[in-house]
Amino acid sequence: MPIAIDEFSIKPLYLEAYLEREELLVATGFVVKKNDLYYLITNWHVVTSRDPMDNRPLSNAGIADPNILKVWFHGLELGHWIQKEINIIDQGGNPLWLEHIRGKEIEVVAIPVEISSDVNIYEIDLALANFDLKLYPSEAVSIIGFPEGLTSGGKFPIWKTGHIIILPILKFRDLNIVMPYIFDFKFTFFSR
């Protein structure tokens, strides 16, 4: 009998940020497709290994500025993964990712990626953003990913429940928040 897996359990990808052979951090990403191009979406702190608030290195070794992401894509058979290396810095030292005009303040980047024929991609449908959803403080939400490198087996993510703790469009850490921030679960988006 086949096992049922929630579709959002196969969308997050396990990422490892490296500077040459030194692993700096483990993170979460996912893929979107726009205009027939694929993009790996992750956070600014992942591609820089720096705290977006004060620019300090996030790795335990005090090293920052990775040049490679090792991404664990789904193989052709679910439950098997294939690791691919994605350069995130060009030979001139320039970032290969796209970021918001406000840079690290937004904390999300998009990395153009070529998808090889030996992997399956389960991208996030960008049309999901067109849903009028109103969220309020105290509402429960699920966060899906790999906080501190945790997995639920293989390279499947864990699910963590948190609650929205501030109203939309308020200031938080001197940023104008246009959507609710979620910080009352064990692993925050800025955890070390």
Instruction: Note the pLDDT of residue 190.
Output: 30
- The structure's pTM equals 0.84
Q: What is the pLDDT of residues 141-176, one digit of tens each?
A: 888 999 889 999 999 999 998 887 766 555 555 554
Do the beta carbons of residue 72 and residue 85 sit within 8 Å? no
Question: CATH number of the domain at 7-113, please?
Answer: 2.40.10
What's phi and psi for 8, nearest 5 deg? -80, -5
Q: List the domain boundaries for the chain.
A: 7-113, 129-176
Q: What is the pLDDT of residues 32-41, one digit of tens each?
A: 999 999 999 9
Q: Encode 74-131 in three state secondary structure.
A: ECCCCCCEEEEEEECECCCCCECCEECCCHHHCCEEEEEECCCCCCECCCCCHHHHHC
Instruction: Note the pLDDT of residue 132.
Output: 75
- Side chain identity, residue 81: W
Q: Count CB neighbours of 86 within 10 A.
A: 17
Q: What is the pLDDT of residues 103-115, one digit of tens each?
A: 888 889 999 999 9
Do the beta carbons of residue 147 and residue 64 sit within 8 Å? no
Q: Calculate the average pLDDT of the chain.
A: 85
